[in-house]
Structure 1
Amino acid sequence: MKIENNRAPKWQASARVKFGTRFAASLAALLAFSTVLAAGARAPAPNPLQGDGRVSAFYSWDDEIPVHPGELLRSERLPSTLGLANAGQQLRLLYSSTDGVDGKTPIAVSGALFLPKGQPPQGGWPIVAWGHGTFGMADICAPSWFGRSYRDVRYLNAWLQQGFAVVATDYQGLGTPGPNPQLNNRSNSYTMLDSVRAVLHSVPGLSNQVVLVGQSQGGSAVFAAAGYASTYAPELDIRGTVATGVIYNAPKQTLATLAPFKTAYQRDPNRIDSTLAYQFYSVLSAQQIDPELKASDILTDSALPILEQSRISCLASLEDDAALAGLTTANTVKPGANARLQAWWDAYLKFPTLKIKSPVFIGIGADDGLAPLELSLAKDACAAGTTVEAHLYAGREHNGTVNTSLEDSIPFVRKVLAGQPVTPVCSPVEQDPRL
């Protein structure tokens, strides 16, 4: 393990011994695995059109990337300004993973690790593997470099306070060179599962009791990761999944039966809408799998300059730009253009399965535009055989559901860690979180 700074964590020496022992014990499995993957790879050359650059040298791995995913390449202390108040130790990480787009090429991925204060319990701290929501596609948008929203700071501090270590991937291509495939569930799943592998291999005081926790893009990623885990990372003990604001690409037959979305937040095609920022990221992501896709076929001439901003801007800044430019759905997206994105949507957002071995918590805001799809996911996953505990929160939209759900998700996680049964709730009744 290579430490970039001069002050290595106290566990550095023991981590080397521990990792070396495990490496020797699993050598045969590693050799078998390496015959499936490419025999090592180098990080791609930085591409400014994909938002590469403007981060420190820590994020660029110049040596050959190990073919075995989940190896910690190096770590350094995370600046306190980017940290969490309830963390006793916090590190920036670089580790090996697998390109989730082609499914085979070794890649380097960045992230962060937060350990609770105090001494770990017997057996080690259980792990929350965190999947963040959409934050941008440029390297500088990696949360381990840019920092986190106050919403997420509050949320992750709560898990630390409950005695969970938090490992937080930046996802493929954020921070590190190469394109960020944004909503590619396989990519986000692989990087999340490999972040857990990396810290379990190298950091003492952790327990192989893992809970996958995510919001929005991360909510979709953790549901997918729970499905991929049995084949991609079967050694991980995934006890449960907590997902809020899940993006679900429902089957067409399900979409045809969805009830109209009812909310106090009305969707007006002529209203200035800062959330159109997501549309620009979607176009850039779709072009990664279809280079022939022209942005001008999707976006109007008045919107195209903001697309160029999306290559370098993180979400909050891009939302401001969209609002200041007076963008509305009507003057941004060409009629019928979203159909051109369907192939990308279908390829990237698919789940490997709806039948998850461990219980799944789904938190839904009744005023979230994704609520009908999230409710459908709860029903569809239940029908597939997954134990789902779903909650529907009155008056909460996409972002407001995250911290509100802690009142229910923490007890859920305590149950799954203790091996206690979870009562399925497939069609939740709307509940007022203020009561």
Structure 2
Amino acid sequence: MKSASLSRPLTHTRAVARLASGAALLCAALLAHAGVRVPAPDPLQGDGRVSAFYTWDADVPASPGVLLRSEPLPATLGLANASRQLRILYSSTDGVGGSTPIAVSGALFIPQGTAPQGGWPIVAWAHGTFGMADICAPSWFGRSWRDVRYLNAWLKAGFAVVATDYQGLGTPGPNPQLNNRSNSYTLLDSVRAALRGVPGLANEVVLVGQSQGGSAVIAAAGYAPRYAPDLNVRATVATGIIYNAPHATLASLAPFKTRFRRDPERVDPTLAYEFYSVLSAQQIDPTLKPEDVLTDAARPLLEQSRISCLASLESDAELAGLTRANTLKPGAQARLQKWWDAYLAYPTLKLNMPVFVGVGADDGLAPAELALAKDACAAGTTVEAHLYEGLEHNGTVNASLNDSLPFVRRVLAGESIAPVCEPHEQAPRAVVGQDDGAH
């Protein structure tokens, strides 16, 4: 009798617990689908010094790819071959945590002339590293002459260009820099927002990126089927790709001519990237102290990197006489490698669309880029790779147009792509008909 009398309260307690648990799960589900507010600005992450356009004061919609607002992009920040150009703000998903709604900025450029039936096909442009402060967002800061010429060529070829700024650039919150999932989500959602909010565009999408953006588009091509299945991603074009290549693949590559040489005693302006790496690593590991990885001579530039865009920081690194030997402490690369490996991970190299890979033989990243082409081929992706003699990281972008534009046209026309997994060096050619890219 004693145990029977106790069974009722115990059963009741379990029932209440189940109800409470169910209510908690329901609340969690509702919260997961409810909009959230943007984070408070953090000057240590470079937030601020942009217009009010970049801060969304209401809840961010839980649905990614919603166009929140737009405004005309100033002519000085525009592209000469655009008939219309907008600064855009749209909803996306935090790619670091993988679930929280965020607001992201970017730009949209519409070609001149009459749109083809069904609308303009879209180039989703993933830019290279500009810096980590809000003012470095290309929709606010502007674009390099290299990128202006490149994007003008795509506009001239009849493609609208949607250009994300990435998470936390322009908008409040940290920029996770080389986080491939973050850059992929914001890139794909920029296209969704443009398609939903701006008439005259076709759901015929080509992912195009350079350097950090080259890595982003390879990742985005892998994330798209499950994160953005509504997008019709037809092709991917990547140059200057960042890839953690397996040693076995690197060892299997055929030798090629290159003028690239790494001298640890040479003054190197590209050490600017190392300071952004430290800021990114601290986002993951707040216990990381600058003195753990940077020398006394280099540490002042870490504070500068919070507010400076890349070109300025590279100039400062050169003026400070920084070399790889006098910037990084022994063991620094191993300490930073933890965030590097996690952020640069690809969801898959088996992609369901053809991929163009452009590699400059004089680019220090060339071995890794060639390794990616080989590994993607081995995974079952159709890759057309090109290796350009005498070109470095930046020079490959525009020179590759002679091959990447015809590649994209063939894909959109439904033609098959002959795989080129291990390219031979070819001499670059001047891009026929490319204008000077003036604004």
Is the shorter-chain TM-score for this pair beyond 0.5, marking a shared fold? yes
Equivalent AA in structure 2 for residue 321 of structure 1: D
Q: Does the aligned pair in 1 maintain the 2:387–2:425 contact within 8 Å?
A: yes
| Corresponding residue of 1:432 | 427
Q: How many Å separate the matches in 2 of 1:259 and 1:421?
A: 26
Q: Distance in 2 between matches of 1:257 and 1:306?
A: 39
The offset of 1:267, in angstroms, is 1.4
Question: Does structure 2 conserve the Cα–Cα contact (< 8 Å) formed by 1:38 and 1:104?
Answer: no
Structure 1 range deviating more: 330-339 or 221-230: 330-339
Question: What do you get for the CA RMSD once the two structures are aligned?
Answer: 1.4
- Any stretches of 5+ residues in structure 2 without a counterpart? 1-28, 431-439
Distance, in Å, in 1 between the alignment partners of 2:221 and 2:211 is 16
Q: Is the aligned partner of 1:207 residue 2:202?
A: yes
Q: Which one of 395, 401, 412 corresponds to residue 400 of structure 1?
A: 395
**CA distances 1:207-260 after superposition (whole Å, capped 9, x unpaired):** 000000000000000000000000000010000000000001123543565678
1:359 equivalent in alignment to 2:354: yes
Where 1:148 maps in the other structure, the secondary structure is coil
2:138 is equivalent to residue 137 of structure 1: no
Q: Which residue in 2 is equivalent to 1:195?
A: 190
1:307-343 CA-partner distances (Å, limit 9, x unpaired): 1000000000000000000000000011221000111
Q: 1:45-64, aligned counterparts within 5 Å?
A: 45-64=40-59
Please state if 1:122 is matched with 2:123.
Answer: no
Distance 2:218 2:81 in 1: 27
Helix, strand or coil for the counterpart of 1:37?
helix
1:67 aligned residue (62, 68, 72) = 62
Question: Following the alignment from structure 1 to structure 2, what is the Cα–Cα distance between the partners of residues 230 and 292?
Answer: 37
1:44 paired with 2:43, answer no
Alignment partner of 1:282 out of 277, 286, 305: 277
For this pair of structures, how many residues does the alignment match?
Answer: 402
Alignment-derived partner of residue 389 in structure 1: 384
8 Å Cα contact 1:364-1:371 kept in structure 2:
yes
**3-state secondary structure, aligned to 2:386:** strand
Cα distance between partner residues in 1 of 2:55 and 2:154: 30
Residue deviations 1:116-164 (CA, integer Å, cap 9, x gap): 0122111100000000000000000000000000000000000000000
Q: Is contact 2:104-2:168 (8 Å) kept?
A: yes
Provide the rounded CA distance (Å) in 2 between the counterparts of 1:266 and 1:226: 32
2:12 paired residue number: none
1:99-178 maps to which residues of 2 (within 5 A)?
99-178=94-173
| In 1: Cα distance, 2:144 partner to 2:193 partner | 25
Match of 2:417 in 1: 422
- Secondary structure of residue in 1 paired with 2:394: coil
The alignment partner of 2:86 has SS state of: strand
Q: Which residue number corresponds to residue 258 of structure 2?
A: 263
For 2:298 and 2:121, how far apart are their aligned partners in 1?
Answer: 46
Paired residues of 2:399 and 2:429 also in contact (CA < 8 A): no
Write the distance in 2 (CA, Å) between the matches of 1:377 and 1:416: 21
Deviation (angstroms), 1:263? 2.6
Partner in structure 1 of residue 305 of structure 2: 310
- What CA distance in whole angstroms lies between the structure 1 residues aligned with 2:197 and 2:187? 16
Query: Structure 1 residues 145 and 117 mapped into 2: Cα distance closer, same or farther (>3 Å)?
Result: same
How far off is 1:397 after superposition?
0.2
Give the structure-1-normalised TM-score: 0.90
Length-normalised TM-score, structure 2: 0.90
Question: Helix, strand or coil: the match of 2:213?
Answer: helix
Alpha carbons 1:259, 1:372 under 8 Å: kept: no
* Counterpart-to-counterpart distance in 1, 2:229 and 2:210: 24
CA distance in structure 2 between the partners assigned to 1:434 and 1:408 by the alignment = 10
Q: What SS does the corresponding residue of 2:32 show, helix, strand or coil?
A: coil
**Which of these two proteins has the greater Rg computed from alpha carbons?**
2
The question of whether the paired residues in 2 share the 8 Å contact of 1:297 and 1:337 is answered with yes
